[in-house]
Each structure stands twice: as C-alpha cells, then as structure tokens.
Chains A and B, each alone.
Chain A
C-alpha cells in the first residue's frame, strides 16, 4: 500500500513540478523559462517537461487555476468558468474606458514601439499626449529610454507584459501581420485619384 505513495514523493520530476507550482504562486508577473530554471536550480529542459505536466494538471475544465504561456513566460490565471465570480469580486480597471484614441495609440506602440509621442501623433494626425498618459497610467505601456538623438530626445514607449497578459498574447509575434491589416497603398491611391478626378471635373 505504501509503495505508490513513496513513488510519487520520490519522483524527481514531480518534485520539480511542485517547486515550479510554488514559484508561480508566489509571483504575480509571468516567469520565463530561464527565471524558473534559475530559481528551481534545474536545467531548462527538465523544467519545460515539468511545466507541460503542470499545464495538463492546471487546464481549463480540470482546475479553477489555469497555467498558461503568456507574455513570454508562464503564469497562473483563473479558469474561464470562474470568470463571472471573479468579476463579482473585482473589476479589471485596465480595460475599462479604453477610448478609440487609446486603442489606436496602443496599436501603434505595440507594432512600432519603442516609439515617441511625436511619432504616434504623426501617424494619427493629432497630439498623443493624453492617450499616452492614459495608457501609462493603466500600465499597458511604459517608458523605454529616449529617442535616438541622445539624452535630449523624446521619451520612447513600449508595451508592457501586462498588455500581453490582458490581451492573452504569448508574445507580440501573435499580433496579426500589419500587411494583412487595412487596405493596401494601391487601393488608397486609386481612391485618392478618383476623388481628385471628381473635383477637377
């Protein structure tokens, strides 16, 4: 009767999995494979195997806690089944009241970041100051040094890990390709010429 129990305790992979569980539960930000390996003092290959084991154990439908790959690392989140209860407990201020200007600014920073406010303003055609300030306050973007023209250059911004978590992105590479979005230059040029022709006519 004791044999199976001793086997569980003695299984080194399972012990590693429990260590990783502990590490993930004490932090609030996603932990990268490197960070987990360093903290568990194990090589990354074994850590990855243990993480797969944990991900299976903590998966949607099996557990109230779900382990997921997000923002370039691993993190626990609540299962979607419990979302309503979670929503009653607290609301997510990050996404509340994100304006169209905020969304567009966020998209520009996500795709072109690190970029400066003048660069954002150039694309959107209006000043970006308040939109940028709102996103910084929400923790979705953050300062990332100054522009190429040295210390006096404009502050550059990039999206944060929180952005990836809120949007459920494993990394920024999961964003759709820019080329697949919107009309291409040719279509717009044709429309411009059509409008111009109408005006001169």
Chain B
C-alpha cells in the first residue's frame, strides 16, 4: 500500500494524498479547511480492507500526518507564533521552561490542596447560603394550553384572498363630468360639489373631482372649503365663458 496514492474525498479536497501535500506546501490549499481526521479515517479504512498490517505504510503515514497537524496547528494560532517568533531559540527555551515551571508549581499546589482536603475531611460547620447556588426559579404566569392552541389555529388559517377587483374598475371619461359641470355653471354661479356627486360610485366621484381640477386649471371656477372635510363650494369665475356672456349682456343693456 502506497500512502502517497491514498485517494481522499474531503470537503476541501478530492484526489490523492500526494497532491494534497503538494498543494498545501505550495500554499494553494488552506490547511485550516482540511479535515485531517478525515484523512486518518480514510487511511484506517484502507488499512482495514487488507488482512496484513503494513507497518511501513503506517509509519510513513504517521510522519506525514504529524507534519500536517503541526502545520495546521501553527496556521490556526498565528498570534502565538508571532509571540514566539521574535524570540531566539535560547529565549524560547527559557520561556517554555518558565511556563512549564509555573504550571508545575500549580500542579503541586493542587496536590497540596487535595491532601489538605483529605486531612480536613472531618471539618463540619454550619453553612450560610448553600454552597451550591440554588437555581433561580423561573416564574411563569399561569399558562393555558388551550390559549396557545387557539393562537396557533389563528395562524394556521389561510390568509384572506386579496381582492383584485380594482384592476377591472371602470372609470367614466372626465369629459362627461366637464360637460355636466359646465352645463350646471351656465345655470348657476355657485354649487355644492358634494351635493352634485351624491349617489355616485367612488370611481365616478373620483373622476368628477378630476373634472373639477381641470376646470380650476382652465380658471373657469374657484374652489373653496371652509374647513377640512367641509362641503366643497364651487363658484364660477368672472372670466369664465358663462360670466363673459352675462357681462356682455349687461354692457349691452347699459349701453
């Protein structure tokens, strides 16, 4: 069995082990993404398929995977590396020895504490607050399962069909109302808009209002309203056609 030809099928890589190593060394593959345990599993599987234990392959694999793991560990802790990178080998060894000594002392202290605890196991005394902090009781308001079911039922109901009726609405032509209002204004100088549109559909009312604006734009009427939502009062302007006629008539009379 040749370790370098071990076929791998990992999330980050698919192909022979040899290629993976090459890509990692060329830094074209980030080791952080490689599942090393997956490689080990694959190798153990292949090993199990064979009857005899291939010690040589095991040894080679062990060395390669160990190197891979070391590389990966260094890659995962760049700060640690930076921290130790500035140190000379002598200093690094000193730092390591210092840390080991520190930990060793704490281990010894822990041992001392354990022995002390064993010696003092006969100590009994009254305790105030329980040493095991009591779990705070979570207070919930009285719950009604039926209430929850009810709310869920509300959620489970299909939403009401959205009305598309407005898409087929029929709007009468604006001209129809223009004609109507002009006719009205010929008879009367002032009228109440609300009264005129009373009994019409919403669409017709809307178009009627558009006609109103159109007349205003042509400066044939003035629009007034005492307060928001109060009746809209329409008055014929002096310059409008009907008024002109009347003025002319008056002038003729006075002449």
Contacts and interface: CB of A to CB of B under 8 A. Distances in A.
Contacts of B96: 192
A9 interface: no
Contacts of A176: 109, 112
B124 A92 contact: yes
A178 B104 CA distance: 10
B108 interface: yes
A83 B124 contact: yes
Nearest to A125: B103
Per DSSP, are chain A's interface residues mostly helix, strand or loop, or mixed? Answer: helix
Interface string B111-123: 1111011011111
A100 B110 contact: yes
Given A138-B132, A185-B97, A95 B106 contact: no
A181 B101 contact: no
Contacts of A28: 126-128
A103 interface: yes
Of the four ranges (under 10, 10 to 19, 20 to 34, 35 or more), the interface on chain B belongs to 35 or more
Interface in B64-117: 93-94, 96-114, 116-117
B110 A162 contact: no
Contact of A188 (B100, B116, B126): B100
Interface in A186-201: 188-189, 192-193, 196
Given A77-B123, A166-B117, A93 B103 contact: no
Interface stretch (A14-22, A36-44, A51-59, A105-113): A105-113
Contacts of B129: 139
B120 A139 contact: no
Interface string B219-237: 0000000000000000000
A46 interface: no
Interface in A114-131: 123-125
Interface of B: 93-94, 96-114, 116-117, 119-133
14 contacts: A82-B124, A100-B110, A123-B102, A125-B103, A137-B133, A138-B132, A165-B125, A168-B119, A168-B123, A181-B109, A182-B107, A188-B100, A188-B104, A192-B96
